[in-house]
Structure 1
Amino acid sequence: MSQKTLRICILENGVTPDDLIDQFGSYPMMIENWLAPFFPEATFTYLSLVQGEALPAPQAFDGYILSGSKYSTYERSPWMLALIEFLLQLREERCPVFGICFGHQIMADAYGGLNAKSAAGWGVGAQQYEYETPELPGCAAAFVFHQDQVQQRPPEARRIGGSSHCKNGVLAYSFPAISVQYHPEFTPEYTQALARKFRGGLLPEAVSLRALDSIDSLPVDPSPVAKWVAEFFRTHLGTKHGNR
């Protein structure tokens, strides 16, 4: 029996810097390249909210992935407000959604939590994350690039992972939604490129140097997270389709 094709929409909330996009691709491309090998029954569509494309009807796709962004959720730009309303619709319709970095943060805001700039400062490079779920390794490194964090978890969210720098780093909700503060789609080369590009400007010199050292010393395997995310969509969409 052939598998049912699952239609996944990746919502682009930020764009790769102009001088890096030819080499590394867009954020939706990075996400698809990371996830697709573990999710062969999925087809991916990209919609760029940050570049003015309209949100679809919630039922237009089987599930959604929210990319990262250089913007902060508390800026509350019109497209962010529209995304928050859309996330509430997805919860109402129990449509699966997975958020990355900015996506993790705006999901927390939409669902009753609070994202804000963290007193812990920038997290850049590779960090060790610890997990509290059997679906993921007990401890594994991940690539990060953020200074905002989820300060208060939403009422329906439970913490299932985090780092010493970011406590609320991985959240799972009581409805079909999961999110991570880190970037499972980033490669070592792209994370290094960001640390070098913003060194001495956006990022203090010491932050960039620590980031580059961490990338060299902490190996990152993004495949367990990809398997977890693929199984999340499979499980919820299998239930959803089975009820039709």
Structure 2
Amino acid sequence: MRFAVLLCADDTDYVKDKYGGYFGVFTRMLAEEGEVWDMFHVSCGHFPDDEQIGVYEGFVITGSCKDAHGNDGWICELLTLLNKLDSMNKKVLGICFGHQILARALGGKVGRATSGWDIGVRTINFVSSTKISLSLDTLATLSLIECHRDEVQELPPKVEVLAWSNKTRVEMFKYRDHIMGVQGHPEYTKDILMHLIDRLLHRNLIKESYAMEARAKMDKTDPDKEAWKKLCTDFLKGRI
């Protein structure tokens, strides 16, 4: 089986040196023995052509420092690609920016979250009617790392909301059997999030008081990384 990561962000030196870049972060979570994984750096204009698309079983769209509601050239090209993947019934998993851009491609609306930044480990509540099996019949919640200030504001038609939080109304959605979006970051470690908090603070995108609060809260809760890994992997490989 062959899969592709559509990279929507530039690697920082820290993530590149420690994790092999965000491609390494995602393959560490999703790749299994015997599979081939490739990367297309779409935010730099590197897209698969029509012939290449056909060889992949599924695609993963990463997070980004760009806005999914923006109209940069590569974002518009990505929207075109996602509509093509939808028409081909290709498996597509979107994470954070990827979640938002999928919602936009399907006809939804994305914008700034009215409640502001969400950074830290948050409790995600699964909708009781969720038609997705994770062998979590007795669990209604999972903890997940979040780092975003945009959100899905209006759902596309025929989309099923799978999960929500007290901060974000659409934490997770599914479209038919081949597209799924997750607002949080199942691929992140606490270490990566700490690094990103420092970067956001350095770029004056968050205040020192908020950064201190986010760091403090991270010490109290751990994300359910193995459960999220299973959920995302099983979806992408067609096991759920």
Q: TM-score, normalised by structure 2?
A: 0.89
Alignment pair present for 1:50 and 2:52: no
Distance across 1 between alignment mates of 2:161 and 2:207: 30
Matches within 5 A, 1:74-223: 74-132=69-127, 133=130, 134-135=133-134, 137-199=139-201, 201-223=204-226
Check the 8 A contact 1:122/1:207 in 2, yes or no: no
Q: Which residue in the other structure is 2:58 paired with?
A: 63
- CA apart distance, 1:17: 2.6
| Structure 1 gap segments, 5+ residues each | 1-5, 239-244
**Matched residue count:** 230
> Amino acid of the residue matched to residue 98 of structure 2?
G
Query: Could you tell me which of 226, 233, 238 is aligned with 1:230?
Result: 233
Q: Which residue in the other structure is 1:242 paired with?
A: none
Which secondary structure does the structure 1 equivalent of 2:205 belong to?
A: coil
Distance across 1 between alignment mates of 2:123 and 2:80: 33
- CA apart distance, 1:92: 0.9
Check the 8 A contact 1:10/1:46 in 2, yes or no: yes
Which secondary structure does the structure 2 equivalent of 1:228 belong to?
A: helix
Distance across 2 between alignment mates of 1:122 and 1:192: 15
Which secondary structure does the structure 1 equivalent of 2:63 belong to?
A: coil
Distance across 2 between alignment mates of 1:204 and 1:153: 31
> Amino acid of the residue matched to residue 47 of structure 1?
F
> Amino acid of the residue matched to residue 156 of structure 1?
K
Residues 235/197 of structure 1: CA separation in 2 closer, same or farther (3 Å cut): closer
Which secondary structure does the structure 2 equivalent of 1:31 belong to?
A: helix
Q: TM-score, normalised by structure 1?
A: 0.88
Post-superposition CA distance 1:161-198 (Å, at most 9, x none)? 12111110100112410110111111111111211332
Post-superposition CA distance 1:111-159 (Å, at most 9, x none)? 0101101111000111111112343542111111110000111112111
Distance across 2 between alignment mates of 1:78 and 1:19: 28
Check the 8 A contact 1:161/1:168 in 2, yes or no: yes
Distance across 2 between alignment mates of 1:96 and 1:20: 27
Check the 8 A contact 2:12/2:21 in 1, yes or no: no
Which secondary structure does the structure 1 equivalent of 2:59 belong to?
A: strand
Alignment pair present for 1:17 and 2:12: yes
| Structure 2 gap segments, 5+ residues each | none
